[in-house]
Chains A and B, each alone.
Chain A
């Protein structure tokens, strides 16, 4: 069964350091999402791509967060510098025109 792949599963970093997460969507899915989920809350959209183009990054803290999907396939989300409040689960999801969003297992980030 096709899955959204994310790595790493867990990441511990010191505040002010840079950190990056990687996502490989389900093959053929043109839409890719990055969500952030704080413990005990629902996921919140950070950025949405349609192929290689950003269609919604209104909730992305652009002073420290960046996301790219250069070839319209896999994607990287970067935080620089990381802050204590960035500790959360970072979820990647993908969808095609007629499917729901499928989520990966997420990257659990802890900033110390």
Chain B
């Protein structure tokens, strides 16, 4: 069946360093991918999305890379800050439809 998975359940980085969170997906029919940030006790918060006809998209301090050949996407956070500490989820699907979420990676930023 469809699945979206993250490579590492936890990631610890030093404040100011760059963070890279990876994700793999299985459904080639997915045309839309999205990264969410979830802080403890709160709902997921949109970070950035990318369509399957793109391989890179940049936002403020974040970049998403999509490699359709190996069904892999990554989230890069530049100059990681303590406020970036949270669980990060990748999700894939079709815009306006069902999203399949991965298990999440917990990012810890050390001051």
Contact = CB atoms under 8 A, between A and B. Distances in A.
A101 B99 CA distance: 9
Which bucket holds chain A's interface residue count? 20 to 34
Given A44-B101, A100-B49, A95 B43 contact: no
Which bucket holds chain B's interface residue count? 20 to 34
A45 B43 contact: no
A21 interface: no
A101 B89 CA distance: 13
Nearest to B91: A42
Contacts of B42: 105-106
A31 B43 contact: no
A95 B102 contact: no
Nearest to A106: B43
B67 interface: no
Interface string A88-112: 0001010101001111111010000
Interface string B13-37: 0000000000000000000001010
A48 interface: yes
Given A42-B101, A45-B99, A106-B42, 15 more contacts: A4-B43, A31-B96, A41-B104, A42-B89, A42-B103, A48-B97, A48-B98, A56-B97, A100-B46, A100-B49, A101-B34, A103-B36, A103-B45, A105-B41, A105-B42
Interface of A: 4, 31, 40-45, 48, 56, 91, 93, 95, 97, 100-106, 108
17 contacts: A40-B103, A41-B103, A42-B102, A43-B89, A43-B101, A45-B98, A45-B99, A48-B97, A56-B97, A56-B98, A91-B44, A93-B43, A100-B49, A101-B34, A103-B45, A106-B42, A106-B43
7 closest residue pairs by CB, A with B: A42-B101, A103-B43, A103-B44, A105-B43, A106-B43, A100-B46, A45-B98
